[in-house]
Amino acid sequence: MKTPLLEVRSLTTQFFTEDGVVRAVEDVNFEIHPGEILSLVGESGCGKSVTGLSLLRLIPIPPGKIMSGELLFEGRDLLGLEEREMERVRGNDISMIFQEPMTSLNPVFTIGNQIMEALQLHQNLDKKEARRRAIEMLDRVKIPSPEVRIDSYPHQLSGGMRQRAMIAMALSCQPKLLIADEPTTALDVTIQAQVLRLLKEIQGEMGMAVMLITHDLGVVSEIADRVAVMYAGRIVESGPIEAIFGEMRHPYTRGLLESIPQLEEKKKRLNAIPGQVPNPMDLPTGCKFHPRCHLMIDDCKKEEPPLYPVNKNHFSRCIRWKECC
């Protein structure tokens, strides 16, 4: 197997609030290989976004703190870098796109200006060359008449166009890794399909790796190669996409999938997961999912299960994984 582009080892990120310690991410391990799309999927508060922000060291300190772990990017630990060196990584080697393009684009600069900024900063291009590249990028993300649109302000673009502009900006320096945090959640379903297709296309052309953070299993199933399911700050199951959708081995993964109405079946009651996501300041003992789990036995309350290998690529954090699903 090739060496991974990024190797995350026992990442633990916590927030120290007035009400107590939020254990947002707890001992998370995963790898991303060059050219692959890894999806972190889970519900709100599961730690998927904090994981993404931790990779770029964008966690606000305080109240947040990366307690421990290693983020080996091409063998180099990002957590050991000086802030100045880290700035060279952000937007250049690793870049990020966010859910709401309107709030993450600067409203008082044209999109051209914002794309050119990264190019001038990281690639040492002069203004003219940067503008040429910016137009090229806008064309690449299929924004019509890019030479005109480059001088548009974010509010002059539709939601789908804005997200394309964000993608153009994130990809302008040809990063090796793109972190996409809910990139299509704010978009209508037809526009979502277009943006997903675009992401997949460009990813293939540029050969970059993508870490896709989403709550939407539909989006995952459309473009991911590998999936890590998160719950209460932990990865509870990970594996190739076919395994996660076809032969899942964790009751939470199964519950998530069964919560979504099927188009093919006649309507009946959904197999909802009972209860709610636990409070991150007051997590249950043992397996964090046990209070909602239909397979729960006494042992589940005692000790947090490790990630059991189902096979060499597929892992489940459930002591009853053999019986599950």
**Contact flags string 141-180 toward other proteins, x per CB under 8 A:** ---x-------------x-xx-------------------
> Quick check: 274 binds other proteins (CB under 8 A)?
yes
Strand partners, 23: 14
The residue count for the chain: 325
Binding mask 28-47 for other proteins (x = CB under 8 A): ---------------xx---
Interface mask (CB under 8 A) for other proteins, residues 53-92, using x and -? Answer: ----------------------------------------
Q: Which residues contact 82 (CB under 8 A, 6 or more apart)?
A: none
The only residue of 271, 285, 311, 313 in contact with other proteins, by rule CB under 8 A: 271
Q: What is the secondary structure of 103-160 as a DSSP string? A: HHS-TTS-HHHHHHHHHHHHH---HHHHHHHHHHHHHHTT-SSHHHHTT--GGGS-HH
CA distance 162 to 155: 8
> Whole-angstrom Cα distance, residue 284 to residue 13?
18
> Using CB atoms within 10 A of its CB, is residue 119 exposed (0-12), middle (13-18) or buried (19+)?
buried
- Using rule CB under 8 A, residue 191 touches other proteins: yes
Strands 64-73 and 76-77: antiparallel
Q: Which of 32, 72, 170, 196 binds other proteins (CB under 8 A)?
A: 196
Site for other proteins in 213-242 (CB under 8 A): 215-219, 221-224, 241-242
Of the pair 124, 190, the CB lying nearest other proteins is at 190
Q: Map tokens 């053999």 to a residue.
A: 322
With H, G, I as helix, E, B as strand and everything else as coil, classify residue 89. Answer: helix
> Of these, 245, 283, 296, 308, which contacts other proteins (CB under 8 A)?
245
Q: Is 188 in the site for other proteins (CB under 8 A)?
A: yes
Distance CA 193, CA 222 (A): 9
The CB-of-107 to other proteins minimum distance in angstroms stands at 20
Show the site string, 109-148: x = touches other proteins by CB under 8 A, - = not: -----------------------------------x----
Site of interaction with other proteins (CB under 8 A): 43-44, 144, 158, 160-161, 188-194, 196-197, 215-219, 221-224, 241-242, 245, 255-263, 267, 269-274, 276-277
